[in-house]
Amino acid sequence: MLSSYKKPDGSLGVDGIFCPNESTAFAMLRVLQDNGWAGKVRFVGFDSAENLVKGLKSGHIDGLVLQDPVRMGYLGVKTMVAHLKGEPVEKRVDTGVHLATRDNMDTPEMKELLQPDLSKWLKTSKHHRHRPALRDAGHLQELRRHARARRGRARGTAGEVVALVGQTAPARARS
């Protein structure tokens, strides 16, 4: 897809690239790296996989748009409880978004979103003794990649979903 934006001198003729999900962001990172364009064009991805965090740290990615899954879960349960009690609820609940950059990726808030400590959430209950405990985030990441790969095959080629934009998002994107 990017070959049509390649200039005669081999550089890339776009100002910036935004990928709206983890799989397209990773695929785009690989394309940019393989063609020598990584770090030479503004690139913002979405989500925080290990390879994307490495790309952010190395300067191959300018920013990663992140959601807060703990906040999303909390607001989802809170909204459902209010609904079940007959209280009015909003039709749409903004759970917030964060933009991680090389400048802020080492702050406690961003570290928690980029590389969360999931051990406190991944305890094996007495009802699931037949399942081994997920002892580290690496194992969970492996399970998540497997699930995403299965979903990706059902939806088609992830590389087809890439949005080219004129510039990157501002350094702080918060709700």
Number of domains in the chain: 1
Taking alpha carbons only, the member of 96, 36, 102 closest to residue 68 is 96
Has residue 7 been placed in a domain? no
Does a structural domain hold residue 75? no
Residue 3: inside a domain: no
Domain that holds residue 103: 13-67+98-163
What are the angstrom distances between the C-alpha of 3 and each of 8, 31, 33, 49, 158? 11, 10, 14, 26, 17
pLDDT tens-digit map of 85-104: 999 999 999 999 999 999 99
* Helix intervals (H) in 96-160: 108-114, 137-155
pLDDT in tens, 39-85: 999 999 999 899 999 999 999 999 999 999 888 989 999 999 999 99
Element (H, E) at 28: helix 22-34
CATH of the domain at 111: 3.40.50.2300
Question: Are residues 100 and 64 in contact, defined by beta-carbon separation less than 8 angstroms?
Answer: yes
In a domain, 89, yes or no: no
In a domain, 106, yes or no: yes
Residue type at 132 in one-letter notation: P
Q: Is residue 21 part of a domain?
A: yes
- More confident position, 172 or 78: 78
Structural domain contains residue 1: no
Residue 91 lies in a domain: no
Phi (first) and psi of residue 136, to 5 degrees: -145, 165
